[in-house]
Structure 1
């Protein structure tokens, strides 16, 4: 296997099972991604429901890198080279799984030519960093928007609620050098550590990382805002899933209402989110359309997928919902 060249913390500096944070976490994720890429590793991340079905077919330990870093199967330490094990353990990213096995607490998903680090399956922790089919659709939306209408020179990009940073990184890579700065913002410090590592692996030059509630920690006008917020009504209110409001739409509404005044002339806001449709009505569109029209904004809205996360309809919060759709809203300031 390819040798990994990167610095890592001594195992003695990180107690087993205690996860590193910030720079220490990023210092392990970047060389792991580089090594996996050199090994030809690729993995397409599916929905949690599909993931569970695949794992149910075979309860055995991992047999290769995709099992370890994609399917989150328990693995024997001898399966990985010593340097990879050292990086995982120095950052507290390997946890005991019984019978002498370990489990990686990090996954790597293919995103174009790069790999994107995020939390392992299942993402049950309140501060988990999630990646899934929504991420692929979100990145495609961002890339298509910039392909049709490139950024002006010196543009300032913000990924608000960035999570893994996939949207902001995609925007920066697709800007064709027009970008002046990339800001990755999230209320979750763990998300910023993952986003920082993913930006470094993708070759994005030193993004600005800010922690806080939506736009609060970000100063100045913005030329290109992208957002893929939590949009479900999660009964445990996990931060990466729970959007607030009746059906989970509250955070999406805030992103638009608080973000539009921050756009520079000609600036755009690109929102990818989900909406629970009830009795044929789209509550997000019905709330925003009058405001956008009254404000004279140039905007478009479309359904990208009419039926996502159908299993959520079994939850009491969705008793009156017919379906959950993935939608896109793009707003431009004149």
Structure 2
């Protein structure tokens, strides 16, 4: 067993231990997280939720010697000013637990999990509940923490599910989360969207970054004028790889300008007579603080949308 495999095994064991202890944490928006941490009583962690949910610093004495050593072996601790912090968070999704990057997510290879993840998961579950045929071949594009892949793999244990990302850290944590969820039908690959994959799929899901991020962090920056480029590219490249009756489920965000939806205008020509599709706003107004930034000075609001496209 390699060093990395031993570290990941310790991470899986930590997740199992947290589950057994009844740990639960719902990850809020970064702005809410920041405001909570600004409270006077949030200077030092008092329990595992503070450590692994709120990403608060903690004194070594919070954990017993054996458990602290296990955290060190898992490779998730960093020390600063005599205190310790976890470099990962653990978030609840129904009965599942997912490991992802700690707050604040400033690193370029940060692995995202937040309110968008919960909405994305609800969209997937709602689709799977109304689907009338089994899923056989599915792919989660830009898998991040692997939520899409895990949900599909759990719902269809006989399906071949693939999780792809260009972020090695995302692939690593997806593997941890897949094992923690008890799934054994997920294959994990490094791929720029579907570039490394052949064949057709009867289900493609994606929750890509959709912001215009000045730092161009991979988990956040969608490219283009207002963060729309990656979502447009997913539609362009995924539609040809849909099997007959196959579906693309794309959860994304759109910066609305002068009452118009620029993303929908860009993909309209791709959605010809070969496809049936629906497009809905799941939330009309998210990340309002972004409108204070120069690149968003012409934007009225940022909405999150769900595009569902099926090959006829």
TM-score range with shorter-chain normalisation? over 0.9
- Measured in 1, the distance between the counterparts of 2:139 and 2:70 equals 31
The 1:148/1:246 distance shift into structure 2, 3 A limit, reads: same
Q: Cα distance 1:76–1:150, how it changes in 2: closer, same or farther (>3 A)?
A: farther
Hey, what's the Cα distance between the residues in 2 that align with 1:25 and 1:224? 33
SS in 2 for 1:108: strand
**For residues 86 and 298 of structure 1, do their structure 2 counterparts lie closer, same or farther at Cα, with a shift above 3 Å needed?**
same
Q: Secondary structure at the match of 2:221?
A: coil
CA contact (8 A) 1:301 1:330 kept: yes
Alignment of 1:56-205 (within 5 A): 56-58=38-40, 59-98=42-81, 100-152=82-134, 155-175=136-156, 177=157, 179-205=158-184
1:279 positional shift = 0.1
How many residues are aligned here?
311
After TM superposition, give the deviation of residue 220 of structure 1 in Å.
Answer: 1.4
Contact 2:153–2:185 (CA under 8 A) maintained in structure 1: no
TM-score by length of 1: 0.90
Which residue among 263, 282, 305 is the counterpart of 2:283? 305
CA offset digits 1:207-251 (Å, max 9, x no partner): 211102110112211111110000000000000000000100000
Q: Which residue of structure 1 lines up, in the alignment, with residue 248 of structure 2? A: 269
| Superposition deviation, residue 24 in structure 1 | 4.2
C-alpha distance in 1 between matches for 2:66 and 2:221 = 37
Q: Which runs of 5+ in 2 are unaligned?
A: none
Aligned-pair distance for 1:296? 2.8
Superposed displacement of residue 28, structure 1: 2.4
Instruction: Tell me, yes or no, if the aligned pair for 2:142 and 2:165 is still in contact at 8 Å.
Output: yes
Q: Which moved more, 1:206-215 or 1:235-244?
A: 206-215
In structure 2, relative to structure 1, the CA distance for the partners of 1:166 and 1:149 (3 Å cut) is: same
Correspondence for 2:225 = 246
CA contact (8 A) 2:37 2:43 kept: no
Long gaps (5+) in structure 1: 1-6, 14-20
TM-score (normalised: structure 2)? 0.96
| RMSD of equivalent CA atoms | 1.6
Instruction: Could you list the structure 1 runs, at least 4 aligned residues long, displaced by more than 6 angstroms after superposition.
Output: none
Give 3-state SS (helix, strand or coil) of 1:57's partner: coil
Kindly state the Cα deviation for residue 206 of structure 1 after the two structures are TM-superposed. Answer: 4.4
Tell me the CA shift for residue 186 of structure 1: 0.2
Paired position in structure 2 for 1:256: 235
